[in-house]
Amino acid sequence: GERLAERYLGRRVSCAHCPVACIHLAVLREPYKNEPYFYKTTFVSYDYEPIYACGSMLGMGSTEGMLKVLDEVETYGLDAMSTGVALAWMTEAYERGLVTEKETIVRPVWGDYASYLKAIEYVVEQPNDFYAALAKGVEYASKVYGGTEFALAYGGNEMPGYHTGPAAHLGFALGTRHSHLDSAGYSYDQKMVGKRLSVEDAVAYLMEEERWRQVLTSLVICLFARGVYTPQVVVEAFKPLGWELSENDLKEIGKKIHLLKLRYKLDEGFSFDQLRFPKRIFETPSPHGMLDPLFMEQALKLYKSRVEEELKSLEAAQRW
């Protein structure tokens, strides 16, 4: 981040009415292909997640190369995290001999941004069966070509860049969108470094946090400001509008929204029993040490049982 700011940051911009300006735009200056003394300047948006996925995950040693990959991802309208994780899976699958250049067309090598730029193009164009599978994500592609143990995906969504401990990965698996933004398990991990983690406390935190976020996002509050908009502040903000809601009222609304989302997912074919934890996360140390598969499975079962009980209560109340 510091190096990017020192050498490449060209501008910071904000969403409407926000004073923070957390959107960082890097300046990428490149010569035109056929006009070596004429340059084009491109502003490329970057933050932690795209850097993780299209930088670290791909072994990038060139900042310019990473920015070119990010720009290509943006040009095609792809998701930066999914694209980076997919290209990383492809590279390892190639190294392990699960796929060859017959499938990949390019020769994927860690840090070789030129080959990744072509691969991104192929993900969009899907010139063969391999890229048609990869375009569906690493969960699908690994079932066809192997390599599920290093296919970093939860519920079909590629993993974000947080390996902070068990709560982060539980959040990816159990969140309604399978996103780090659902319940911020990584934040809980960070607060609990050096302390004993329990299955019950981790599950309770993830549920409570995701339910409160239903309230915040329904109010169109930026999650970067979640520490400002506490339940008490939200209660006070409603009063000038003529709404008298208690903190408990808000939390019950968040709980109901969360359960309705889960019920919709279950009705559409989602199953907690189909969730898996990639083997790779148990092979890599975290700030809490090596993750325990038993802890993760127990948390998954507890979360599932609580959701099932609460959905029964919700349905009974609606029938009444």
Number of H-type helices and E-type strands within the chain = 15, 5
**Residue 24 to residue 212: CA distance in whole angstroms:** 28
Do the strands 23-32 and 35-46 form a parallel or antiparallel pair, or are they unpaired?
antiparallel
Q: What percent of the chain has pLDDT over 70?
A: 100
Place of tokens 């979360």: 303
137 falls in which pLDDT band (50, 70, 90)? very high
Which segments of the chain belong to CATH 1.10.599.10? 162-319
- CATH-assigned architecture of domain 162-319: Orthogonal Bundle (1.10)
> Which CATH code, of 1.10.569.10, 1.10.150.120, 3.40.190.10, 2.30.40.10, is assigned to 49-154?
1.10.569.10
CB-based burial label for 49 (10 Å; 0-12, 13-18, 19+): middle
Q: What local confidence, expressed as pLDDT, does residue 128 receive?
A: 98
Contact by Cβ (8 Å): 60, 111: yes
pLDDT tens-digit series, residues 80-97: 999 999 999 999 999 999
Report the distance separating Cα 318 and Cα 320, nearest Å. 5
CA distances to 85, 183, 186, 189 from 229, in Å: 33, 16, 20, 22
> Does the predicted model carry a pTM greater than 0.85?
yes
Reading the block at residue 159, the tokens are: 């993993």
The pLDDT, as a whole number, for residue 320 is 62
Residue 46, pLDDT above cutoff 80: yes
What residues does CATH 1.10.569.10 cover in the chain?
49-154
Q: Count of CB atoms within 10 A of residue 295's CB?
A: 16
